[in-house]
Structure 1
Amino acid sequence: MPTTPTLSRRCALHAMAALALCGPPAAQAHDFRAGSLVIDHPYATPSLAGTPNGAAYLRSIRNRGTAPDRLVGATTAVAERVELHTMTTEGNVMRMREVPAIELPAGQEVQLRHGQQYHLMLVNLRQPLMVGERFDLTLKFEKAGEATVKVWVQQPRAGATPTNGGHAH
């Protein structure tokens, strides 16, 4: 049976190995910056079989500045075009429509999460989006300019409302 110092040394080595695998805190972050905007956790859901469109989301865009900004567009190589969409529920019917911009008020956070008011519609995908894939998405802001983010394709959390409301986009 090992002595206490040997056991402590092993625990320390295991802890250091675990930290090395995790990497520095910045390596684990999944946020991006454009001027005073912080774009947090870009992600997309796997595309549905037989549908030409998909959707991308952002946990949030935080405007840390003192002036408002607007998300005015986006592009990606995985789709023919990207549209900014808003989703509303009218009775039992979910309606989506393209909007020209998404307002980003100064000092506030706007969410573009799965099942929330806003999302990015990926129109005419060049290939299906599969869990585990990553792709670049360039966001265009009125004042902050452009920022290219890395989007991770992942399953939405249980209980989240699908953006397509159960129908094809």
Structure 2
Amino acid sequence: MSLKSTLFAALAGLTLAAPAMAQEIHVLDTYARSASPMAKTGAAFMLIENIGDAPDRLIAVKSTAAKKVELHTHREEGGVMKMVHVEEGFELGAGETLFLQRGGHHVMFMGLTESFEQGKTIPLTLVFETSGEITLDIPVDLERMPKEGHGHGN
């Protein structure tokens, strides 16, 4: 078998195997907000479901809507709740849902390059360790209030 034929066969094998390696990630109930139209920071919230049979990890986020975009959470430090960057990302077990919500895990936009105005959409790419990238347009909802008794908003 020639080198060209061997390379073609290897490439075909990888192409056919790729769908089997992909995870089943669903992103639901997305929205973004900032404290005011003049704010320099904003946040995005959503539910991320892993309906696959293997764990994954949300390891990064990207967007042109801000100079810096990070995964954040709230942690108690010295009796005070602080927002901190989560460099290791968020684990997403097989069959589990990751809640990115106010007062908990969330996407943080710092140094906004555009204002978060009601009804506008913000581009966001979620980067997963196994599943790769998922690109979304997140609607800005400045009027949305946290839902009582519902995990995604408390």
Whole-angstrom CA distance in 1 between matches of 2:145 and 2:40: 24
Please state if 1:104 is matched with 2:95. Answer: no
Task: Give per-residue Cα distances to partners, 1:1-35, cap 9 Å, x unaligned.
Answer: xxxxxxxxxxxxxxxxxxxxxxxxxxxxxxxxx83
SS in 2 for 1:70: strand
Calculate the aligned-residue CA RMSD, in Å: 2.3
Structure 1 counterpart of 2:54, from 60, 67, 71: 67
Output the TM-score relative to the length of structure 1.
0.66
Whole-angstrom CA distance in 2 between matches of 1:89 and 1:148: 32
How many residues were matched structurally?
Answer: 126
Output the TM-score relative to the length of structure 2.
0.72
Whole-angstrom CA distance in 2 between matches of 1:107 and 1:148: 21
* Structure with the greater alpha carbon radius of gyration: 1
Which consecutive unaligned segments of at least 5 residues does structure 2 have?
1-21, 148-154
Whole-angstrom CA distance in 1 between matches of 2:58 and 2:91: 7
Percent identical? 37
Please state if 1:153 is matched with 2:143. Answer: no
Structure 2 counterpart of 1:125, from 112, 137, 140: 112
Which residue of the partner structure matches residue 18 of structure 1?
Answer: none
Which residue of the partner structure matches residue 26 of structure 2?
Answer: 38
SS in 2 for 1:154: coil
Q: Say if 1:48 and 1:123 are closer, same or farther in 2 by CA, change over 3 A.
A: same
Task: Give per-residue Cα distances to partners, 1:72-130, cap 9 Å, x unaligned.
Answer: 11111111121000113568732111012111011111100223x20000011012211
Deviation of 1:46 after TM superposition, in Å, equals 3.2
Which consecutive unaligned segments of at least 5 residues does structure 1 have?
1-33, 161-169
Q: Say if 1:52 and 1:113 are closer, same or farther in 2 by CA, change over 3 A.
A: same
